A = this chain, B = another copy of it.
């Protein structure tokens, strides 16, 4: 009964993990390379990468003795799509807010 996005949302809850995703948007990286960008141990970064992987937000590919982490656009889009549930809502609501602000200006 768990939503498919659950692990994705969980993965996005931590600022370090969101930061990692932005890093990986520029280029694929090994664990060590990702870890260079943070003030914590490689083991801690590895944990974050595991959670990102579980959330389907990255994929990991073994290349010899190193493992390359790559952003996974499909998983990211899965979480993104969750918001479309509210499309109708905020279209109308933001319009309402906008027109009320206009009214206040007059």
Chain A residues 72-94 with CB under 8 Å of chain B are 73-74, 76-77, 79-80, 82-83, 85-86, 89-90, 93-94
- Once A73-B89, A80-B83, A83-B76 are accepted as A-B contacts, the answer to whether A2 and B15 lie under 8 Å apart by CB is yes
Q: Does A6 contact B (CB under 8 A)?
A: yes
- Once A3-B18, A83-B80 are accepted as A-B contacts, the answer to whether A10 and B13 lie under 8 Å apart by CB is yes
- CB of A18 within 8 A of CB of B9, answer yes
Of B6, B15, B97, which one neighbours A74 at CB under 8 angstroms?
B97
Contacts of A21 in B (CB 8 A): 86
Of B9, B82, B89, which one neighbours A13 at CB under 8 angstroms?
B9
Of B71, B79, B89, B97, which one neighbours A25 at CB under 8 angstroms?
B89
* Candidate in A9, A10, A22, A79 with the most chain B CB atoms within 10 angstroms: A9
- CB of A25 within 8 A of CB of B76, answer no
Chain A residues 47-106 with CB under 8 Å of chain B are 71, 73-74, 76-77, 79-80, 82-83, 85-86, 89-90, 93-94, 97
